[in-house]
Structure 1
Amino acid sequence: MNNAQSVKTGARLLAVCAVALSLALAVFSSPVAAYALTTSDMTARPNGNSGSDVLGGTETRISWEGQAAPDESVSSLSFTLPEGTRFSLDNAKLTLLTGEDRMTRTKVDARFSSEGQTVTVAIDGQVEAGAYYRVELYGVEFPTSGGDMAIKGAASFADGSKQELADLPTIKVTSVSPADQFARYLEGQDWVKAWNSNKFLKLFFNPPLLVTSFPVVMNGFFLAVGIVAVAFPLAIPVGLALSFMRMSRFRVLRAIAATYVNVVRGTPVFLQIYIAFFGLPLAGVEIPSFPLGVLVLGMNSGAYLCEIFRAGIQSINKGQFEASRSLGMSGAQTMLFVIIPQTVQRVLPTMTSEFILLYKDTSLLAAVGVMEVVMYAKTIVASTGSITPYIVAACFYLVFTLPLAKLVGIFEARLAGNDAGSAKKRPRRLKSAVRRQAEQR
């Protein structure tokens, strides 16, 4: 009995193994689905002589190559371009590449059409099976934002079957600013070519380079304005404090202020920048470039504002000091509420001139690597060999300084008018006082 049961169990195991083996053979021996059309290559190149990079907003040529299966003939191809891509079907073509090196090209009659972002190539007639196809699209402009552009493709065959094209490589597109686009437009203009044919004009006033340099140098302009916007408010209290020290009754304070002002005004600000940027790190003091530049320029301007404020305070009639004291005001109150407001009014034109000088002095920070106006222009000059970026930098200085210079003229004219009006009123008041005294007598 035991032997009979063992035989039955063994037979069952053999049957199960046989069934499993047959299923495995059925699975592994079934034909694996294969693509009837494989992508061999897909590239993008600029249409013109603008290098090998694909730039957004610039006309580009796209070429696709694919190999059909030996028993398949393609009837149509379609390619879906990324959103925002502009293209033209002019000069688009489909060719067959033959020969061992695939250098022999045979043009195929095909109709190109588009619907939305999809370009369809319908092949007229029958093409031999297993052909090697090449599709070329000209005038393709990818979005200016750039990035990795994915193109989708599909194929239809003579037997009615369809297939998605797999393994299409993404195209890396470099972003392009509106200024770059406008510069490329200018490069193609006849008048620009004639203008740049003159060596002097091309060196100093190259129109495309003017356009592309403007947004780059503008970054330095904002930084320079930021430096001045922080340094000048810092210089004002420094200048006021030094001016009070210069007029102090204490000899020590006068000596300290005089020494500081004479040293700072007697040495070039360029040298002071070098001492701060290269001397402090050697002494173990590490300060970032922006705050250090603000500190150096602010302390330098404070020395000049000291003399401006001192001259303005000393120009106030001493009778106003005495009148304020007679009204019971302390020295601090007299200075704060009577003298300083009049001083600011008188020195405002000179302060504005100092503000202009401070803004221009920011260009010296380019020598120590601070990315302000001149430094940005210098980097473009180094790569292009043209002086045009320096002209752009000069424009940024003039845009800022000319209106301020005009403002200084207005302040000076008003101040002169006020002084003249005051001078005319004094004799009238004197005559009135004399007349009243005579009448009383």
Structure 2
Amino acid sequence: MNEIITFIPQALEGLKVTIEIFAITLIFSIPLGVIIALGRISKISILKSITGAYVLILRGTPLLLQILFIFFGLPLLNISIPRFPAAILAMVLNYGAYFAEIFRAGILSIDKGQFEGAEVLGLSKKDTFFRIIMPQALKKIFPPVASEVVTLVKDTALIYVVGLDELLKIAKIASNRLSSIMPFVVVAVVYLIFNGIITKVLEFIEKKFNYYE
């Protein structure tokens, strides 16, 4: 019990870093996903090819490898990025690709009559997308987006490889110092609580989308 009490303040410090990585990644990866999704469904062939290659590479390689490449590989090209921005960049690029495919599927699921109706009404492409298509697509894509958000919470643990003091690294250091697995147990509980809160928030938001039914 003393080990747990001693470790809790350290775990909370690690949780702060984890939450920062989670929040910043979410804030930037969702808009990036929308942009990439629009590129994927674009009629401009070169734009479609570039965004398609982006999605293929980022979804086809492990996130851990991408983090290592950005932090350890780019310096070989004389491009040095500090630990925190490197972790954020890797996470945003990776999740942007996953969100892009979810958004693309959601947009393509909307009946073409919706586009034609908006055109008849004289709406611009921008208004058509943001006022008609996207609100309907959001209802359909929210469950898979929510699933990715929950996965993101767990994937933040991968940033330990660049030396950031997030939950997993804090637990590993404490475990080695105390010769005990209790720090890992505490961290597991913290992840469960954090994920539980995120899940409840997502469920609340999903209920708000019921007005489309």
- TM-score band by shorter chain is over 0.9
Structure 1 spans left out of the alignment, 5+ residues: 1-206, 423-441
CA apart distance, 1:344:
2.3
1:234 maps to which residue? 28
1:276-295 per-residue CA deviation (whole Å, 9 max, x = no partner) reads 11101222222111111111
For 2:126, which of 332, 340, 345 is the aligned residue? 332
CA apart distance, 1:311:
1.1
CA distance in 1, matches of 2:78, 2:189: 39
For 1:382, which of 165, 169, 176 is the aligned residue? 176
The answer on 1:208 being equivalent to 2:2 is yes
CA distance in 2, matches of 1:224, 1:411: 22
The answer on 1:372 being equivalent to 2:166 is yes
CA distance in 2, matches of 1:332, 1:320: 14
CA apart distance, 1:350:
2.3
1:219 maps to which residue? 13
CA distance in 2, matches of 1:255, 1:365: 30
Q: Give the % identical residues.
A: 38
CA distance in 2, matches of 1:283, 1:414: 48
CA distance in 2, matches of 1:414, 1:337: 17
Equivalent AA in structure 2 for residue 256 of structure 1: I
1:396 maps to which residue? 190
Q: How does 1:26-37 map to 2 (within 5 A)?
A: none
1:297 maps to which residue? 91
1:77-104 per-residue CA deviation (whole Å, 9 max, x = no partner) reads xxxxxxxxxxxxxxxxxxxxxxxxxxxx
Equivalent AA in structure 2 for residue 254 of structure 1: K
CA apart distance, 1:320:
1.4
Normalized per residue, which structure has more strand?
Answer: 1
Q: How does 1:257-296 map to 2 (within 5 A)?
A: 257-296=51-90
- TM-score normalised to structure 1 length: 0.46
CA distance in 1, matches of 2:146, 2:184: 25
CA distance in 1, matches of 2:8, 2:31: 35
Q: Report the 3-state secondary structure (helix = DSSP H, G, I; strand = E; otherwise coil) of the residue aligned with 1:339.
A: helix
Equivalent AA in structure 1 for residue 32 of structure 2: V
1:355-378 per-residue CA deviation (whole Å, 9 max, x = no partner) reads 221221110111221110101111
Normalized per residue, which structure has more helix?
Answer: 2
CA distance in 2, matches of 1:400, 1:411: 17
CA apart distance, 1:209:
0.9
1:353 maps to which residue? 147
Q: Report the 3-state secondary structure (helix = DSSP H, G, I; strand = E; otherwise coil) of the residue aligned with 1:386.
A: coil
Equivalent AA in structure 2 for residue 399 of structure 1: I
Residues 353, 408 of structure 1: 8 Å contact kept: no
CA distance in 1, matches of 2:202, 2:25: 20
CA apart distance, 1:401:
0.7
1:306 maps to which residue? 100
CA distance in 2, matches of 1:229, 1:411: 17
CA apart distance, 1:317:
2.0
CA distance in 2, matches of 1:414, 1:240: 21
CA distance in 2, matches of 1:215, 1:338: 48
1:188-220 per-residue CA deviation (whole Å, 9 max, x = no partner) reads xxxxxxxxxxxxxxxxxxx11111111101101
1:253 maps to which residue? 47
Equivalent AA in structure 1 for residue 96 of structure 2: G
2:114 maps to which residue? 320
Equivalent AA in structure 2 for residue 280 of structure 1: L
1:363 maps to which residue? 157
- TM-score normalised to structure 2 length: 0.92
CA apart distance, 1:412:
5.6
CA apart distance, 1:410:
5.3
Structure 2 spans left out of the alignment, 5+ residues: none
CA distance in 2, matches of 1:282, 1:363: 25
The number of aligned residues is 213
2:138 maps to which residue? 344
CA apart distance, 1:348:
2.4
CA distance in 2, matches of 1:400, 1:298: 20
Computing the radius of gyration from Cα coordinates, the structure with the larger value is 1
CA distance in 2, matches of 1:312, 1:411: 18
CA distance in 2, matches of 1:374, 1:368: 12
CA apart distance, 1:411:
5.5
1:144-169 per-residue CA deviation (whole Å, 9 max, x = no partner) reads xxxxxxxxxxxxxxxxxxxxxxxxxx
